[in-house]
């Protein structure tokens, strides 16, 4: 139990520190690497919540595929993008105002969490509960059963969304040769 | 660990992401801050899924992941297109679309 608590606090510290690194590093590549550390620490959080499959896709898809795409664009654009130090004094009062707003937002959220309580009848029980399904058929199978039975329509809509995103990226990133013809 | 511990970590991560969107001028870093916020909410979903013993939280995390991937693809394509035409991506300079 103590080891579990220690792991939680270390993970929470790493997650918050790397999140701060994302917004505080001047170089966008360092922000990027800090974000990858944050995503990996969240994957470890998911593991500690016994969600093996979701932790795996968090590492594979998010920290892997999406972040590699991000890193390509950042290394392509960043060297010129973040070298202007002249904007720092213009942003000074905005940093102060944002710190104040962030304290208010975090305080409000934590107050809401501390005052709220989960109703006891909100917990699933019996053969439909997550723990029962995981012990019966396993972690990945429980995920797949829920995805293809209860959530099959959102899953299909997801495929349409991904096709639209791919087509949008292709259209946006091709060079417009029509303008040269004019 | 109790449910509230996970929710408080999620709240802190969400706040940091929101602050990042407000203070940074580089759209790439603003995108990373949006990813931070999405992931903070994912952590809350996973914590609720575990403590309410329901699989729905996992499904929502899966769908949020797909939407985040689509958003990153389209957003980065837009940023690259802007960079090609203007050679700069400071958000303060991109004000030609204002009404």
Compute the average pLDDT of residues B58-74. Answer: 91
pLDDT tens digits, A128-173: 787 788 888 888 888 888 888 888 999 999 999 999 999 998 888 7
**Does residue A10 have a pLDDT over 90?**
yes
As a whole number, the mean pLDDT across chain A is 84
The pLDDT of residue A177 is: 57
pLDDT tens digits, B14-51: 999 999 998 888 888 899 999 999 999 999 999 999 88
Structure tokens at B7: 């929710």
**Chain B hits for A58, Cβ within 8 Å:** 42, 65
Given an 8 Å threshold on Cβ–Cβ distance, is A73 in contact with B76? Answer: yes
- The residue with greater pLDDT, A125 or B10, is B10
Confidence class for position B82, pLDDT limits 50, 70, 90? confident
Given an 8 Å threshold on Cβ–Cβ distance, is B6 in contact with A45? Answer: yes
Domain ranges of chain A: 7-81, 128-177
CB A165 within 8 A of CB B73: yes
Domains and CATH numbers, chain B: 3-93 (1.10.287.3510)
The pLDDT of residue A114 is: 87
- Best B53, B56, B85, B88 residue to mutate vs chain A (most A CBs within 10 Å): B53
The SS3 assignment for A97 reads helix
A7-81 under CATH 3.40.50.300, yes or no: no
Residues A20-25: contacts with CB within 8 Å, 24+ apart? A20/B16, A22/B16, A22/B20, A22/B29, A22/B32, A22/B33, A22/B36, A23/B16, A23/B17, A23/B19, A23/B20, A23/B23, A23/B24, A23/B29, A23/B33
Given an 8 Å threshold on Cβ–Cβ distance, is B59 in contact with A125? Answer: no
Question: Measured between CA atoms, how close is A181 to chain B, in angstroms?
Answer: 17
The pLDDT of residue B98 is: 63
Given an 8 Å threshold on Cβ–Cβ distance, is A16 in contact with B52? Answer: no
Compute the average pLDDT of residues B47-60. Answer: 89
């Amino acid at each position: 139990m103590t080891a579990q608590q220690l792991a939680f606090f270390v993970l929470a510290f790493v997650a918050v520190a790397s999140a701060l690194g994302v917004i505080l590093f001047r170089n966008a590549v360092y922000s990027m690497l800090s974000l990858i550390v944050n995503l990996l620490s969240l994957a470890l959080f998911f593991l500690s919540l016994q969600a093996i499959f979701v932790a795996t896709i968090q590492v594979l898809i998010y920290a892997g595929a999406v972040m590699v795409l991000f890193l390509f664009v950042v290394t392509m654009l960043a060297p010129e993008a973040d070298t202007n130090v002249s904007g720092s004094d213009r942003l000074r009062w905005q940093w102060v105002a944002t710190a104040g707003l962030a304290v208010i937002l975090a305080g409000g959220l934590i107050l809401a969490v501390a005052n709220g309580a989960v109703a006891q009848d909100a917990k699933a029980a019996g053969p439909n509960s997550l723990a029962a399904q995981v012990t019966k058929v396993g972690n990945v199978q429980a995920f797949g059963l829920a995805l293809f039975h209860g959530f099959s329509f959102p899953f299909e809509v997801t495929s349409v969304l991904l096709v639209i995103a791919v087509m949008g990226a292709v259209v946006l990133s091709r060079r417009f040769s029509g303008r040269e013809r004019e | 660990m109790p449910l509230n511990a996970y929710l408080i970590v999620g709240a802190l991560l969400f706040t940091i992401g929101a602050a990042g969107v407000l203070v940074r001028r580089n759209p790439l870093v603003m995108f990373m801050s949006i990813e931070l916020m999405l992931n903070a909410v994912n952590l809350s979903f996973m914590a609720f899924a575990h403590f309410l013993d329901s699989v729905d939280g996992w499904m929502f995390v899966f769908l949020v992941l797909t939407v985040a991937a689509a958003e990153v693809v389209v957003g980065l394509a837009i940023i690259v297109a802007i960079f090609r035409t203007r050679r700069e991506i400071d958000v303060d300079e991109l004000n030609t679309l204002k009404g």
